[in-house]
Structure 1
Amino acid sequence: MTATAHTPVENDTRSLTTASDSARAARRRSRGHDSDRSAGRSPGKTIIVTVVLALVAVYFLVPAYWVVVAATKTTEDLFATNGFWFAPTFALWENLGRVISYDGGVFLRWFANSVLYAGVGALLATYFAAAGGYALAKYAFRGRDTIFGLVLGGVLVPGTATALPLFLLFSQMGLANTYWSVLLPSLVSPFGLFLCRIYANATVDASLIEAGRIDGASELRIFHTLGLRIMTPALVTVFLFQLVGIWNNYFLPLVMLSDSDLFPITLGLNNWRSQVDRLPEFYELTTGGVLLSIIPLAIAMIVLQRFWRGGLTEGSVKA
């Protein structure tokens, strides 16, 4: 048999034909994906969803906008002008200066207390939730399902239901009216443990754990070097939820604390608000303090939102 020789022109023609066929196939696949994404959608449903999302955004953003506007006003302008627009006198910097300097800078102490409660509490609660969720997902032991069921039960119990029993317990232990009385309950996150267990079960492959054991790594080292790194999106999610929850917590500090030097921001601002009837200037202190109190949460949400979205969705679908 003799091989058929092709000229350079024929080779170029075949290459162009193959490239054209590949391009057409790619366009067909792209059209197929586009049709899959648009399947089941209609203009009416899109409009309804957009309107609902817009209403939800307005519901959450309007109070924050009002706080920003109110913090720029004096007490007289706060009641004499439109609540959703700025007054002729812009008093934001004066109000914030009074907030920081009032009563020897007690607001800064409340701010530091909130950073301690929320920062340390959220960090340790995230670590404990990761350790517990990892253990429940990757180790088989007697009573594992029972423990997980109790954790799910803990998610359903509101914090207000346990505040009074905790106060009585801490009073007997001598921990009431101390930093520990607010910090220790913040270290437990049933929802965080539940989320970490689901995430670890979906993303931490058993073969990685076995490879670490074969290499001679201890269980703790495998957890810290492999487990925590793989679970990072879920950990950031738990940290964010716990940070916001502790920062906004009001009832537990109200029950546990009587010393104003131990108050978090929520309790301190409520203390200021309760005095507005006899001292109207506390309106300026309260609105300015509220504005300063939401800045850390806004920063945390902006910085961690991409990890938060990934933590909620990653691992939910397997290829």
Structure 2
Amino acid sequence: MARLRVLPTYVLLVVSCAYFALPLLWLALSATKGRDELFTTFGFALPERFALVDNIRQTLTYENGIYLRWTGNTLLYAGGGALGATALAATAGYALGKFRFRGSGAVSWAIIGAVLVPTTALALPLYFLMSSVGLQNTPWSVFLPSLVSPLGVYLCRLYAASSVPDEVLEAARVDGASEWRIFRTVVLRIMAPILVTVFLFQFVAIWNNFFLPLVMLNSRELFPLTLGLQDWNTQPQVGNQVIFHLVVTGAFLAVVPLVTCFLLLQRYWRQGLTAGSVVA
């Protein structure tokens, strides 16, 4: 009877895993197929001829290797933006979580409200802002908005309030340490799990961001991978099945860094996901 009671839960978990895993499996299998085989075989069938290496070579060399340029742009936007956003979230979250000052409550509520605002709703206002200072169609127009992560600030505030002991801070102050030294040598080490979590969330969000670069950029040399692959996908050759296998292979290569980051940092972000679970 106990097994029958948990059976619906197991079925739901299996269906959910399949829902998320099957598109990735299709992408991985399709990237190993040649151009002709991609459209003549069942999507989840194994390839008759393993063409992954050839597909990667064509993807990296097509249009004078512009895919590598898009990859570099994406690493710059996502890596730099995630690092900057994590640093700002750590300082702001620690200040809001451990210090009380006039307006701190209003700032906290404003951050919660900012979390609820869809990022797509901010794209046009950000475009007008960047245009007013002459930064449209530059890397700064994508990089600067990526430095702000309301969710990251919110998570860091909860983690700092619940996991950074006041006794440790007071002991450091008694020993004569400055607030900056306390933050740098004590607080950052304690907050490491949540900082990794914020970095991963922001890295993935920037890496997969499509609408903001679409609004800000019109130069193909500045495109991230999301916009670059869309540019390939809308070319007339795709309708003739000429470069669609390159689009599929490029999408598969774009997933690899995200999977790698999660695998390398999973022991940290698992701890950070429970941050603030008992603190309101």
Class of the TM-score when normalised by the shorter of the 2 chains: over 0.9
Matches within 5 A, 1:17-28: none
Q: In 2 relative to 1, CA 99–132 (structure 1 residues): closer, same or farther, beyond 3 Å?
A: same
| Aligned counterparts of 2:278 and 2:132: Cα–Cα separation in 1 | 49
Q: Which residue of 2 aligns with 1:313?
A: 274
Cα displacement (A) at 1:89: 2.2
Whether 2:165 is the aligned partner of 1:202: answer no
Q: Of residues 79, 86, 89 in structure 2, which corresponds to 1:119? A: 79
Q: State the identity %.
A: 50
1:189 aligns with 2:149: yes
**Superposed CA RMSD:** 1.5
Matched, 1:280 2:267: no
How far apart are the structure 2 equivalents of 1:121 and 1:267?
Answer: 17
Partner of 2:104: 144
Count of residue correspondences: 278
Shift of 1:72: 1.4
Measure, in 2, the Cα distance between the counterparts of 1:279 and 1:83. Answer: 19
**Are residue 235 (structure 1) and residue 195 (structure 2) matched?**
yes
Q: Please, which runs of 5 or more residues in structure 2 have no aligned partner?
A: none
Q: For residue 297 of structure 1, what is the amino acid of its counterpart?
A: L
Query: Residues 214 and 168 from structure 1, CA distance in 2 versus in 1: closer, same or farther, beyond 3 angstroms?
Result: same
Paired letter, 2:257: P
Q: Whole-Å Cα distance in 1 between the matches of residues 220 and 171 of structure 2?
A: 53
TM-score, with length taken from structure 1: 0.84
Q: Does 1:135 align with 2:95?
A: yes
- Quote how far apart the aligned CAs of 1:315 are: 6.0
Question: Quick check: 82-91 or 232-241, which moved more?
Answer: 82-91
Q: CA offset at residue 98 of structure 1?
A: 0.4
Distance 2:42 2:149 in 1: 42
Does the Cα contact within 8 Å between 2:158 and 2:275 map onto a contact in 1? no
AA paired with 2:215?
Answer: V
2:184 equivalent in structure 1: 224
User: Which letter maps to 2:267?
Assistant: R
- Ranked by relative contact order (alpha carbons within 8 Å, sequence separation 6 or more), the top structure is 2
How many Å separate the matches in 2 of 1:45 and 1:183?
50
What does the per-residue CA deviation read over 1:135-156, in whole Å, with 9 as the maximum and x for residues that have no partner? 0011110111100000000000
Q: Find out whether 1:156 has 2:116 as its counterpart.
A: yes
Distance 1:192 1:45 in 2: 38
**1:24 — aligned with what?**
none
CA distance in 1, matches of 2:268, 2:220: 36
Q: CA deviation at 1:257?
A: 0.4
Deviates more, 1:202-211 or 1:85-94: 85-94
User: Is residue 64 of structure 2 the alignment partner of residue 64 of structure 1?
Assistant: no
TM-score relative to the length of structure 2 = 0.96
Contact 2:229 2:247 in 1 (8 A): yes
Shift, 1:208, TM fit = 1.0
Structure 1 CA distance for aligned equivalents of residues 248 and 205 of structure 2: 21
The alpha-carbon deviation at position 299 of structure 1 amounts to 0.3
Contact 2:84/2:147 (CA < 8 Å) preserved in 1?
A: yes
Match of 2:33, SS state, is: coil
Paired residue for 2:139? Answer: 179
2:262 aligned with 1:301:
yes
Q: Does 1:247 align with 2:247?
A: no
